[in-house]
Structure 1
Amino acid sequence: MAIAVKLSGDIVTVRQTARELASKLRFSLTDMTMIATAVAEIARNITSYAGTGEIRLFVDDREGRQALVIQAEDQGPGIPDTVHALEDGYSTGRGLGLGLPGARRLMDRLVIDSTPGQGTLVEMWKWVPPDA
């Protein structure tokens, strides 16, 4: 099952969608909250820096295990230095620089593919509970 949410400012909808899917996959309440928070942080980055984008949620194999995968993609300005972007306090805008590093801490993995002037793809995942 794959869910795609077009994003143009409505962070609440994508956050709720992520939480509902996590619930169906039998994540704990704590994990559901962490997933929803991470999705909201990434969605806020899209709306703040790119304006619009898309967030896709699906279950897939990652590193030999089932994972809830979240892909957030935009065609915005890109991230010139992805290494620094994952450090607390680093921001190219007016934010506090906590979005990407915070999302990385909340999820099991987070990877960024970004090209300045062409956009960004952030993929993060959380291992699906074995009893799902």
Structure 2
Amino acid sequence: MERLKEEINSYYSQIPKSEALRMALDNCRELLRQSVEITKNNKKEKKEEELLTSSHRVVCYKEINEGLIALIENHSSEKIKKAKKSIDLLLFIIQNETEDVFINSENKIREELINEKYIPNLIIEWTLKNC
């Protein structure tokens, strides 16, 4: 994950902050949408533990969304602080959830994890900490 962070830092430090913010906001909204869908499915299937985790993600992505909007509009540092805590928590959760899968899987599954989970969240993290 550290190598991914370095690559994201290298790329995103060269683009305009407004573009980085827009991309992070797009990623956040997509991850929020996915989390809401997962939560609905978990509720429908009565998967209590998964429901708790997915609904927590929804709350975190909403806080991140509000923090990114606050960054764009140049105000509300409290929302930005909350967003930074939420992305740190989400990255910790994602890393713990995917560590075994990542280590014990074939390259295709690793690639999917990187593209669908790690990169979008790391872009959000970079943006919140550098814009």
Q: What's the TM-score bracket when you normalise by the shorter of the two chains? A: 0.3 to 0.5
Q: TM-score with structure 1 length normalisation?
A: 0.34
1 or 2, which has the higher strand percentage? 1
TM-score (norm 2): 0.35
Q: Whose helix fraction is larger, Structure 1's or Structure 2's?
A: 2
